[in-house]
Structure 1
């Protein structure tokens, strides 16, 4: 970690207060930062390069609405064949850089049949169905407690702020529970039926490990899913990753505008 932090700090001269992890097809937000400084994951000690289409693999530092921030333009997934420690290492770095809020975004499959592709969903809570927790192993009390409370992993005040922003802009916004599967295979129709019974509104292959790490370290989390497709068994059409990236492109402008306004509100709260 020390080597990583020293390298990053040698490249930047600002202290980010907001971090954002940009999911499949949502990386264009990073291109809107002012005074941007980009560092490839491949250059950063301890980082792994993402291998998934739609995840370019860059840390981008800059300002949005006057707020200093850092974007992960693409994430690393457990299904890429690396350890969970390696998956959440970038999130630990963002927390160590001093961020106060982490915005986690993803492309997700809709389980709630009232949703439709292109909807944005605020994550109210999650279900970790992956069978692995990123906090397994030795715990350093300087980072956080051995047994962190997960009741308000997704900060209540941030949720209310995001809903106000959506109302003000006239953006239709869903809210629900995100269920984490490891992937990379899409869920079966039977698994989606199970997810619905258990209370999930959307499913995906990321986000939960990062949210757990941020919560453990006392960083407030705002979660946003882009519903890019309906999950298996709801429609008869087969699932394909190209649909994920295409729908992400369709919502690009509304996603950027919504996140920008949320960051503006976060900046106002700090001042």
Structure 2
């Protein structure tokens, strides 16, 4: 469930999204080829927007498509976007394409997650991350944030845990600002309260003045007696027309140094 504003009519909801995006009524009207007067009338309830206008405003406000359906319902229209269960027969082409992508990325770790970081699918490379993880964290639904930040998960083996934790929490904060999901907020509050390993003092990083050998912040994790370094990338569907598809993300872990790549290619993730 998504919480947008105390008033559930479409005008206040649109105003909330506009203010969240930092746009004036005039700026929004120019983008949507409307008028500031009409935008004002819609927001105050003096004018009922057409279905096409709701969708146009939502597009220019970059409203997630789940919330676009909520805006349409608030305006008295039917939802425009389907929400097909991921295990539905209709999703077989999507599942097949995702499985092929994950397989092609091996031996590097890759997974598919939903909007709450629940893991939908993984490849064999992910086994490099599973050493010593508490069994309860591996029970369905497997959650990537819990798996990474929980003291029974990856956290004790991540050498730069404070940095990596800060990166993940900031990522969640940005998503909450975009969608204001109650469930995502609850997950954030849960994982943010997990303790940071006491021996993580940041001393494993480069010395002051030393050139940083990475072009992005890596996750540095111990595995089988050595430290592996990964840079995370996230891909989403560009023009989704289904809520489920819109909320899927493919996270891949790219080796950040030759030693990590060599370890994986030699079968270290087996």
Q: Which has the higher strand share?
A: 1
Q: What's the TM-score once normalised by structure 2's chain length?
A: 0.22
Q: What's the TM-score once normalised by structure 1's chain length?
A: 0.22
Q: Which has more radius of gyration? A: 2
Of the two structures, which has the highest relative contact order with CA contacts closer than 8 Å and spacing of 6 or more?
1
